[in-house]
Structure 1
Amino acid sequence: MMRHPFVLFALGTFAVFLLLHLAGGRQYVGVLSGTVVGGAGGAGLGLLYALAWFGAVLAAPVLLLAGLLDGALARASRARP
């Protein structure tokens, strides 16, 4: 199991997105176009969902690859005599 901080942060970001998706945040993303459904709570949930989506789609894969590559390089450098 990789415990690199980048890997853990990427998995945490994706977990937050998954929780917001399961909570129904997708239906409130209309706040980005100016259509607020559900009042202030819906607007907040929609904004959080959009930020989590960007994090899961843009940041998490980069962090995951960086953490895995760093871990593999560290493991390879320890294996060298």
Structure 2
Amino acid sequence: MGLKKTSIKRNEITIDQAELLAKKLADRPYGQEKTDAFVRTTISLPKKLLLVIEDLALKNKRNGINPKNNSSIIRAALEEYLIKHK
């Protein structure tokens, strides 16, 4: 008497479901949790100040130095300000 094979019914996964899962997992670091999550906020700046920040970001990007984007420049300036005014 031979062993009876049991068939396991698996749900077929569509391409759309696979794409959705890939997008969901794409921003997660492999094997580690994000410890310092960023949150978005809105600030208002004078146009001249924003232009200076954008120019600096572009210059830094071209020279391969940090900070390379507006958010990083503003974050660094704010951190420096908070340290100075503790």
Question: Where on the TM-score scale, by shorter chain, does this alignment land: which range?
Answer: under 0.3
TM-score, length basis structure 1: 0.25
Higher relative contact order (CA closer than 8 Å, sequence separation 6+): 1
Higher helix share: 1
Task: Choose 1 or 2 for highest CA Rg.
Answer: 2
- What TM-score do you get using the length of structure 2 for normalisation? 0.24
